[in-house]
Chains A and B, each alone.
Chain A
Amino acid sequence: MIQKIKKLFLVLFLCALVTGCAPLAPGKVPFNDPRVTVVGSFLRSDIKVTGLNTRINSGNFMEVQVTGINKATGYRNTNATSGHGNTSTATSANTANTSTGYRNLEYKIDWIDRDGFVIKTILSRWTLFPAYASSTFSFAGVAPKTSASDFRITIRKKEK
């Protein structure tokens, strides 16, 4: 009986060890933040957002950065490219593009104040950002007012 329990513990321990060390399986993205939306099924199949970083800067303005992953080719470790830090605490937004070619993408950040109202600002505009094949890319934004406490980010393919 004791031997059986020992074996069970050993198996459980090994399982925990293996799953803990295993690299993130392709397509498994541990991120589901409703504040970021990728528009279009074509894009969604390639590009996945994996994380958000926010902070309040010295002027009390909220800043946001987005991190992402290419679902088709699996996880691309930002540590390998940046050479420091954990991906979840990376200081820049990194998103992998799985397409074989260069992509023109756009993002728009809508800032929302403490009362839930969208702030009208020229900072909320479709902004182009490049996505090179099999490369990471990043973007960030700053709130137009110190009263901004939330945001909604939309990513889409650049319309012609």
Chain B
Amino acid sequence: MFFSRPVSIRKQGKGILLVGVALVYGVFLSGCTATTQNINMYNDNGGAVMALDYRDFQQAASEAVESMLRSGALNKQGGGRYVLAVSRIMNDTMQRIDTDQLVKKIRVELLQSGKVVVTTAVGANGPEDQMAMQARELRKSDEFNQKTVAKKGQMIAPDLSLSGKIIQRNVRISSSKQQVEYYFQMTLTDINSGLAFWEGESVIGKRGSNKSVSW
């Protein structure tokens, strides 16, 4: 009994110490955790990143569309809209990019301009929407009212083809700094003649730490 008191006091002290340490760690960790925020897409003042982000795609797409609308390349003789097929957009960067991040923006703007309509039945890697062809197989089915099935010879062939390439070039500035250049190159080809009616390039450059990963 005489010796047991100091032992329990020592145990208690250890316990208090552990709780204290845990509290300090807790405060430390919670203080370092970044809070999640929604990006204000209309006025994003966030710092630039070395990799490509949505702002870069938006810039490249809007520059391409603006250039096309200015050039007069979308003015169809006799009026009306051109039918556009999306060809291959090559990703020649070190990043895994879905090129639709760029192409979709361009397509939407061109469609809304009233000068172009995009076909999803023809594409460089097969039709974007296979349903147009699959739905035609219903011609064989007695279950479907044949008047509602797509008729032969109704699809419209494309007049124009949109192709492009996204290129990345890394330049070492110093042991701690690097420069990354991105080139967005687009071409609008007249399918009938094979001539490029419009070509455009947007360059986006970033300079930052070597530790920043751009792939």
Other-chain residue from A58, A63, A145 in contact with B113 (beta carbon distance below 8 A): A145
The answer to whether B112 touches A145, judged by C-beta atoms less than 8 angstroms apart, is yes
The answer to whether B66 touches A123, judged by C-beta atoms less than 8 angstroms apart, is yes
The answer to whether A144 touches B113, judged by C-beta atoms less than 8 angstroms apart, is yes
Shortest CB-to-CB span from B180 to chain A, Å, is 18
10 A-B residue pairs with CB within 8 Å: A61-B70, A121-B109, A121-B112, A122-B65, A123-B62, A123-B65, A125-B59, A126-B43, A144-B65, A144-B113
Count, A-B residue pairs, CB within 8 A? 49
Would you call B13 an interface residue if the criterion is a C-beta within 8 Å of the partner chain's C-beta atoms?
no
CB under 8 Å from chain B, chain A span 120-142:
121-123, 125-126, 141-142
Known: A59-B115, A142-B70, A160-B45. 10 other contacts (CB 8 A): A57-B72, A59-B72, A59-B75, A61-B113, A122-B109, A123-B65, A125-B59, A141-B66, A144-B69, A144-B113
Other-chain residue from B45, B69, B105 in contact with A59 (beta carbon distance below 8 A): B69
Shortest CB-to-CB span from B198 to chain A, Å, is 12
Shortest CB-to-CB span from B172 to chain A, Å, is 26
Q: Number of contacting residues on A, CB 8 A?
A: 18
Shortest CB-to-CB span from B200 to chain A, Å, is 13
Q: Number of contacting residues on B, CB 8 A?
A: 20
Bound together, the chains give a CA A63 to CA B74 distance in angstroms of 16
The answer to whether A122 touches B62, judged by C-beta atoms less than 8 angstroms apart, is yes
CB under 8 Å from chain A, chain B span 62-120:
62, 65-66, 69-70, 72, 74-75, 105, 108-109, 112-115
Would you call A82 an interface residue if the criterion is a C-beta within 8 Å of the partner chain's C-beta atoms?
no
CB under 8 Å from chain B, chain A span 24-61:
57-59, 61
Contacts from B to A (Cβ < 8 Å): 43, 45, 58-59, 61-62, 65-66, 69-70, 72, 74-75, 105, 108-109, 112-115
What is the chain A residue whose CB lies nearest that of B108?
A122
Bound together, the chains give a CA A122 to CA B109 distance in angstroms of 7
Residues of A within 8 A of B62 (CB): 122-123, 125
Bound together, the chains give a CA A142 to CA B75 distance in angstroms of 15
Shortest CB-to-CB span from A28 to chain B, Å, is 34
